[in-house]
Amino acid sequence: MCLIALAIDQSRRFPLVVAANRDEFFNRPSARLTWWTPDSGGPAILGGRDLVAGGTWLGLTAQGRLAMVTNVRDPSRVDPEAPSRGQIVPQWLHGAEPTDRFWMRTALSGYNGFNLIAADFQRGECFWASNTQAHPRRLERGTYGVSNASLDSAWPKTSALKLGLRTALDESDSVDALAGALFTALGDRQIAADTELPATGVSIELERALSAAFIRLPERQYGTRCSTLVISERVGRHLITHVMERSYTASGAIALLRQATLKHWPPRYSDAKARAPVEAGVVSDGPRTRVRSLLKPASTRRRTVRCDAA
Side-chain-side CA neighbours of 18 within 13 Å: the count stands at: 27
For the chain, report the end-to-end CA distance as a whole number of angstroms.
22
- Per CATH, is 3-300 categorized as 3.60.60.10? yes
User: Domain spans of the chain?
Assistant: 3-300
d(CA 113, CA 98): 23
Residues counted in the chain:
310
Strand partners, 45: 36
- Predicted TM-score of the model (pTM): 0.90
Q: Are strands 137-138 and 254-263 parallel, antiparallel or unpaired?
A: unpaired
Distances (CA, A) of 99 to 16, 80, 103, 136, 259: 22, 28, 6, 10, 30
pLDDT in tens, 29-43: 999 999 999 988 899
d(CA 138, CA 240): 25
Q: Are strands 222-235 and 16-25 parallel, antiparallel or unpaired?
A: antiparallel
Contact status, residue 220 vs residue 205, Cβ threshold 8 Å:
no
Contact status, residue 93 vs residue 42, Cβ threshold 8 Å:
yes
Quick check: helix, strand or coil at residue 183? helix
Structure confidence at residue 50 (pLDDT)? 97
Residue in 299, 267, 232 with CA at minimum distance from that of residue 12: 232
d(CA 53, CA 57): 11
> How many Å separate Cα 251 from the centre of its chain?
25
Residue in 243, 267, 275, 10 with CA at minimum distance from that of residue 125: 267
d(CA 148, CA 65): 23
d(CA 118, CA 65): 8
By CB neighbour count within 10 A (0-12 exposed, 13-18 middle, 19+ buried), where does 129 fall?
buried
Q: Which residues contact 178 (CB under 8 A, 6 or more apart)?
A: 14, 17, 168, 169, 172, 231
Query: If the chain, 310 residues long, is cut into consecutive pieces of 10 residues, what is the mean pLDDT of each piece?
Result: 95 97 97 95 96 97 97 93 96 90 92 96 95 92 97 96 98 97 96 90 93 95 97 95 97 93 93 42 37 79 47
